Structure 1
Amino acid sequence: MAVIVATDNDFNEVLNSNKKVVVKYFADWCGNCRLFSPKFKRMSDDEAFAEVTFVDVNAETSPEARKVANVTNLPFFAVFRDGQLVDSVAASKEEAIRELIHKLDA
């Protein structure tokens, strides 16, 4: 599945119209964010995550979306179930993000 790019304008709509969502907060200047992008795309294509919606949010241009997850560092990942924040992590290791996504099934 493609990674959806969301902004402050449509962020809440994306959260509320998808049951399980993982959001990657990034910035254009963030090297680790750029390095993680292909992994995030690959994860979005993984059959294990077929029920999860993957979303990219530019943390610099979408401050309201950033506040929803209390973003502290970049890259920053947050998972939402039924529009509600479940958990988040500031990390750039794929295993940490996979563990975060699995919390949506708990």
Structure 2
Amino acid sequence: MPTVAVTDASFEADVLKSDKPVLVDFWADWCGPCKMIGPSLEEISEELGDKVTIAKMDIMANTEVPGQIGVKSIPLMVLFKDGKPVAQKLGAAPKSALKGWLESEL
């Protein structure tokens, strides 16, 4: 299952009202570490897609939700369950570390 792009407009439906956990990756085009973890998140999405949706939000195109959540640094990954943020991870990490962290939170 590929990653899903979410926007300020689709955030409520795609993330807050999702029937399974959603990991939102807050990123921007100019962010090198964001680009580094992109392929890892795609692979994790393929591997864990039955348990969690991996979503990406471009903070330059969408400012409302990142502002509400208090995104100050990127890449920031926030895991939402039942419409609430339950865990977050700041900064790039190897795929194995990202996947291990996510699995431990699910």
**Alpha-carbon distance between aligned partners in 2 of 1:96 and 1:73, rounded to the nearest angstrom:** 19
Q: Which residue of 1 aligns with 2:33?
A: 32
TM (norm. structure 2) is 0.86
Aligned residues: 104
Please give the secondary structure, in 2, of the residue aligned with 1:89.
strand
Residue deviations 1:10-62 (CA, integer Å, cap 9, x gap)? 0111111232100111001011111111111011011x452100101001221
Q: Which residue of 2 aligns with 1:72?
A: 72
Where does the alignment leave 5 or more consecutive residues of structure 1 unmatched?
Answer: none
1:3-82 equivalent positions in 2, closer than 5 A: 3-15=3-15, 16-46=17-47, 48-82=48-82
Does structure 1 conserve the Cα–Cα contact (< 8 Å) formed by 2:33 and 2:91?
Answer: no
**Alpha-carbon distance between aligned partners in 1 of 2:31 and 2:105, rounded to the nearest angstrom:** 27
Does structure 2 conserve the Cα–Cα contact (< 8 Å) formed by 1:25 and 1:77?
Answer: yes
Where does the alignment leave 5 or more consecutive residues of structure 2 unmatched?
Answer: none
CA RMSD of aligned residues (A): 1.7
Flag as ranges the 4+ runs of structure 1 deviating above 4 A: none
Greater CA drift, 81-90 or 60-69: 60-69
Task: Kindly provide the amino acid, as one letter, of the partner of residue 67 in structure 2.
Answer: K
- Give the share of equivalent positions with the same residue, in percent: 25
**Alpha-carbon distance between aligned partners in 2 of 1:32 and 1:60, rounded to the nearest angstrom:** 16
1:62/1:18 CA distance change after superposition, 3 Å: farther
**How far 1:4 moved relative to its partner?**
0.5
Does structure 2 conserve the Cα–Cα contact (< 8 Å) formed by 1:69 and 1:78?
Answer: no
